C-alpha cells in the first residue's frame, strides 16, 4: 500500500512540475481570426467578438477560442461594471448580482485566476474549467476574454443554453 501511495505522489509531483514547465514555455499567442456571437438568434454587432488565438507550447501549435465577457453579458441584458481597486467585474443576471474577481493564488506564482460567485452568497462559487491548466481568462487590450470551456461554464451556470460551432467559429447563446 505504501508503494502505491508513494508511486501516486511521485506521478502527481511529476505532472505538477511538467505543468509549471509548460506554463513557462508557452508563448503569448497571436490573434489569427475572429468569430461571431448570436444571442437569442440575433447576431451581436461589435468589435469585441470571439477571438481565435494561436499559441505555441514547445513544438505544439494549438488554437483557443476566447469569449469577450463584457460584450456577452451586456448582450444578455446585464449591467456590467469594473472595479479597478479589487480587480473585479460586477454584473447582474436574472435578478442576481455576481462578482468575477481576478486573483493571484499563493501556491501558483505569476498567474491570476478568475473566480465567480453571487455577491450575497460568497460561498456560491461557479466552477470554471481551467483550459490547458491556465487561468481560465486572458486580458487583451484591457478586456477580459474567457477561454473556451471557462466561458461556456459561466454561461451554462447562469442558465443559458450554449451551442458552439468550432469549424465556423460561431457561438450561439440562448437565455430563454
pLDDT (tens digit per residue) in 137-159 = 777 788 888 877 788 888 888 99
**Threshold 0.95, pTM exceeds:** no
CA atoms of 65 and 146, how far apart (whole Å): 8
Q: Which residues have a Cβ under 8 Å from the Cβ of 111 and sit 6 or more positions away?
A: 23, 104, 105, 134, 135
What mean pLDDT, rounded, does the chain reach? 75
- For residue 96, give its domain range: 2-174
What's the number of domains the chain is made of? Answer: 1
Region 6-11: mean pLDDT is: 40
CA atoms of 28 and 71, how far apart (whole Å): 23
Amino acid at each position: 500500500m505504501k508503494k502505491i501511495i508513494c508511486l501516486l505522489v511521485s506521478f502527481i509531483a511529476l505532472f505538477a512540475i511538467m505543468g509549471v514547465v509548460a506554463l513557462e514555455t508557452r508563448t503569448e499567442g497571436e490573434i489569427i481570426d475572429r468569430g461571431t456571437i448570436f444571442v437569442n438568434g440575433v447576431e451581436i454587432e461589435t468589435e469585441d467578438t470571439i477571438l481565435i488565438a494561436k499559441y505555441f507550447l514547445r513544438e505544439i501549435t494549438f488554437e483557443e477560442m476566447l469569449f469577450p465577457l463584457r460584450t456577452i453579458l451586456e448582450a444578455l441584458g446585464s449591467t456590467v461594471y469594473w472595479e479597478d481597486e479589487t480587480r473585479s467585474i460586477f454584473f447582474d443576471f436574472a435578478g442576481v448580482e455576481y462578482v468575477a474577481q481576478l486573483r493571484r493564488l499563493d501556491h501558483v506564482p505569476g498567474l491570476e485566476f478568475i473566480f465567480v460567485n453571487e455577491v450575497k452568497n460568497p460561498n456560491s462559487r461557479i466552477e470554471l474549467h481551467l483550459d490547458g491548466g491556465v487561468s481560465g481568462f486572458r486580458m487583451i487590450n484591457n478586456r477580459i476574454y474567457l477561454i473556451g470551456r471557462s466561458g461556456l461554464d459561466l454561461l451554462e451556470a447562469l442558465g443559458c443554453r450554449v451551442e458552439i460551432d468550432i469549424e465556423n467559429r460561431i457561438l450561439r447563446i440562448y437565455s430563454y
